[in-house]
Structure 1
Amino acid sequence: MFASLVGLLHQPSIALRVPGDDTTFNPKEYPNVTIIAQGKVQGKIRLIHNTNDDSGLGLISTRVWVTKDNDKEEVSIRTRFEDRTLTFTLEGPRRFANLNIYHETTISIPCSVRNMENLIIDIPNSSLSGDGLHSLYWNKVKSDLSNSSIALETLHADTIDLRTSNSSISGSYEAGHIDLNTSNGSISAKLVVNEARDGRQSSVTTKTSNSGLELHVDATPTSRGLWMDNSTRNGKAIVGCLLGPATRGSYVSVTSANSKVELSLDASQTGQPLEVNTKTSNASIVTSIMVPQDQPFKGLAQSSNSSVTVNLTEAFQGRFDLSTSNSSTVVEGTHLQFETEKKSNKKGSRGHGSSDVKLSTSNASLNLRFYPAGDSPAADTKSGY
C-alpha cells in the first residue's frame, strides 16, 4: 500500500530503456538467480514459468519509468555471470529523495526447465507475484522486500523464506522449510510441508503484527514430524494442521496478543509425542486436538481476561490442571479422577498415561472436554485439504 500511494503522488511516467533491461540466460548453466535493486525504487516483480521458448533460455526483463528527466542519468542495470549464478542489479537514484523510479521486472523460466537451484530477490518497495509455478521446483527461494505484498500460487522449493513489511503475504507454498514474515499485514496461506532435503525436521515459521494470521497446513508428506511456530500481535490467529505418520515428535505453537487464537490439529496418526502451546491475552482461545495414540502429549493454553476452551480426544491419558480467577472451570469426559475440584481450580487425571495439559486465564472461564475421536471438533481438519 505504501509503495502504491507513493506512486500516485509522484507518478513516474517517463519511460526509459536501459542497457541490459532484457537479459537472457541459460538456466542449465546459471540455475541460481539473484535480483537486486539499490537506491530509491518501487515497483513489481513477477515470476513466470509458462513461457514456450525453443531456445530454452530464461529472461529477466525490466521496464523503468522515471519522474524527472534528470533521474535518467541515475538509472543503470548491471549483470554478472559467475559461479553458476546470474546476478541482476537495478540501480536507482541514491541521493535523498522520494521514490523517483518505478520498475516492472519479470523473471521468465522456460517450460522445458523443471528444476532450478536458488532464487534470491532483494528489492525494496516492490511486490512479488507469479504465474504457472506449479511444475517448477527450486532448492531455495528467498525474498527481502518492503512495503508491498507477496502473492504466489503453488511455489515449490526445499526452503522458502519470504519477507516483506507493511503488506500481506498470501498464496500456496510447498517446501520442507517455510518461513513467512511480515509486519502490519496479514498472512493467509495454504502450506504443504514436505520432507526436508537437509535431513532436519521440517519446519514452518510465520510471523506478523497488527493483522491476522490464517493457515491451512498439510504436513502428511513429511515423516520426520513438524516444528511449527506461528505468531502475531493484535490480530486473530487461525491455524488448521494435519500431521501424518512420523519418526519424530512434533511441536506446534500459535500465539497472539489482544486477539483470538483458534487451532484445529489432527495428530492422531503420528505415532509420536506431541507438544502444543496456544497463548494470547485479553482474548479467547479455542483449541481442538486429536492427540496421538499411545504417545505422550503436552499441552498449554494460556490467556487472560477471556475464556479458554480445549477439546481433546479420548486418546489422552494423563494429568490435567485448570486454574482461573473470579470464574468457573469445567472438565467433561469419561474416566476422570479429581484431586482438586473447586470452582476456579481443577486438577486430576484421565487414565494412567504421562500426558499433561494445562489451561489458565483470569477473570474468565476454562473448559476442557474429552471426545471420542469421531466426535472431536478437530475431525473436520481433514476437510480443509
Structure 2
Amino acid sequence: MTITDPLDLLDIDSLLSDEERQIRETVARFVAEHVRPHVAEWFEAGTFPRELAPELGKLGVLGMHLDGYGCAGTSAVAYGLACLELEAGDSGLRSFVSVQGSLAMFSIWKYGSEEQKLQWLPRMAAGEAIGCFGLTEPDFGSDPAGMRTRAVRDGDDWILNGSKMWITNGSIADVATVWARTEEGVRGFLVPRGTPGFTTHTIKQKLSLRASVTGELVLDEVRLPDSARLPEARGLGAPLSCLGEARFGIVFGSTGAALDSLRAAIAYATTRVQFGKPIAAFQLTQEKLANMAVDLNTAALLALHLGRLKDAGRVKPHQISVGKLNNVRRALAIARECRTILGGSGITLEYSPLRHANNLESVLTYEGTSEIHTLVIGEALTGHAAYR
C-alpha cells in the first residue's frame, strides 16, 4: 500500500527547478542531522545554540538571497524553500536565519555604506558575526511610527536613547540595526556590542519560540560616529521594507511547520492501533488528514506563486500580507489538529506538532499581527486605511 507524502499530493515538486529542489534537499538534510536530534532539548531548556551559526554559514543560508559580500545570491523561491525546511525543524531556527539575513544583513546590504557592507556582511554570511534588528518598542509594536527611541546630533556624533523589545537574537548579537527618530525623520544606526551605554537583556519564561533568543535592547546615552548611520535609510519606509523581506520567509517557513506536523501525525496514525486497527484506517482520522493536506498544499502553492512574483520583481506588500496571514493561520490550525491525532502523546516533546503550534502563536504575531495584515488587505481592496 503506497503512502503519499503530504507535500507530494499535487506534485508541487514538478513546479521547481533542479537547483531549487537541490537546495531544499540540502537544507532538509542539514536539519535532519544537526537540528532534529537536539531541538526538543533546546526547546525545553529555552536555549539557542550559538555554535550553530557558523554551521548555518557553511550551509550558505545566511543572507542567501543577497548578492555579493559572501552571500549566495539565490532566487527568492530558493530562499523560501530553505525557510520551509528550516521551520520544519523549528520556528526558532528559521527565525534566526530570517533575522540574520532578511533584517540585519538586508538593512546593511540595501541601506549601508560600502564600508559598512565590507565590515559586516562577509562575517555575517559566514555566521561569524550575529545581527539583530531593533525596531519594535515596549509601547510601539504594530505602530512603529510612534517609536520613542531618539538620535540627536552632537557635533559629528549621534547620541541615542531608548529601548527596543522582543528582539530576536538581541542578547547574542554582535551588531544591532537600531531605528531611531531624528529631526530629519527615522534613521537606522549600526550599534556594535560593547558600545558604552548599550546593554541587552534576555527575555525568559517564554511559552513559545523557546529554541530562540529573544531580548531587550537598552540605549542609554549611546554615542556613535556618523559612520554608524545607514546613509541610504531615510524614513519609516526603510525598516518596513526590511520587514517585507522577513515576512516573505514566513510565508514559506510556516508551511514547513505545518508539513512537519502533518508528517508526524500520519506516521503516528499509521502505527497507533485502537479497536483492532491503525487509527489511520478510521474515517474521522482520514477526514482530518485529508483536510489538513488540502490546506497545506494550498499554502505551498500560494508561497510558490509569491516567490515567483518576487523573483520577477512584481510582488506587492499586500500580496505578502495575504501569504503571511493565510499560511500562518493554516499552519497553526494544522499543528493543533495534528496534536489531536497524537492524543496524550502529543503533549510531549517526543512529537513536534504542539511545539510547532506553540511557536506559531509567536509567528502569528510577529512581523505584523494577523489584525494588521487583515487591514493591509482591506486597504488594498477598498482604498481606505483603517489603522486609526
Instruction: Specify if TM > 0.5.
Output: no
TM range (shorter): under 0.3
Structure whose alpha-carbon radius of gyration is higher? 1
* Structure having the larger proportion of residues in helix: 2
TM-score by length of structure 2 reads 0.22
* Structure having the larger proportion of residues in strand: 1
